[in-house]
Amino acid sequence: MKELVGTGVALITPFNSDFSVDMEGLKNVVNFSIENGIDYLVVLGTTAESATLSKEEKQLVINTIVSANNGRLPLVLGIGGNNTQEVISEMKTRDLSAFTAILSVSPFYNKPTQEGIYQHFAAIANAAPLPIILYNVPGRTASNMLPETVIRLANDFEKIIAIKEAAGDIVQAMKLISGCPKDFLVISGDDMITLPMVLAGGAGVISVIGEGFPKEFSKMVKLGLDRKVDEAYEIHYKIAPAIDYIFAEGNPAGIKTVFKSLGICGDTVRLPLVGVSDGLRTKIDSFIKNF
Cα dihedral 237, 242, 248, 251 sign: negative
- Three-point CA angle 50, 56, 62, nearest 5°: 65
What proportion of the chain, given as a percentage, has pLDDT over 70? Answer: 100
Asked about 109 being catalytic, the answer comes back as no
Q: Identify the pLDDT of residue 112.
A: 97
Amino acid at 221: V
pLDDT band at 215 (very low <50, low <70, confident <90, very high): very high
**52 in a labelled binding site:** no
Average pLDDT of span 198-207:
98
Section 29-46 average pLDDT? 98
Alpha helices in the chain (DSSP H): 23-35, 55-69, 84-93, 114-127, 138-141, 147-156, 170-179, 194-199, 209-212, 214-225, 229-248, 253-262, 278-290
The per-residue pLDDT for 20 is 98
> Whole-prediction pTM value?
0.97
CA–CA distance, 291 with 278 (Å, rounded to integer): 20
CB distance 198 to 224 below 8 Å: yes
The whole-angstrom distance between residue 290's C-alpha and the CA centroid of its chain comes to: 27
pLDDT tens digits, residue range 138-189?
Answer: 999 999 999 999 999 999 999 999 999 999 999 999 999 999 999 999 999 9
206 is in an annotated binding site: yes
Active-site residue (options: 58, 159, 164, 222) = 164
By the 8 A CB rule, do 125 and 157 touch? yes
Three-point CA angle 44, 54, 31, nearest 5°: 40
Q: What is the pLDDT of residue 256?
A: 98
Residue 1 pLDDT level (bands cut at 50, 70, 90): confident
Q: What would the mean pLDDT of 190-213 be, rounded to a whole number? A: 98
- Among candidate residues 40, 118, 135, 245, the one labeled active-site is 135
Res. 208: pLDDT tops 90: yes
Average pLDDT score over residue span 43-66: 97
Q: pLDDT for 96-155, tens place per residue?
A: 999 999 999 999 999 999 999 999 999 999 999 999 999 999 999 999 999 999 999 999
Is 135 an active-site residue?
A: yes
- In this prediction, residues 43-55 reach a mean pLDDT of 97
Average pLDDT rounded to a whole number, residues 227-244: 98
Question: pLDDT value at position 224?
Answer: 98
Instruction: Give me the half-sphere count of Cα atoms (radius 13 Å) on the Cβ side of residue 87.
Output: 25
Mean pLDDT rounded to a whole number for the chain: 98
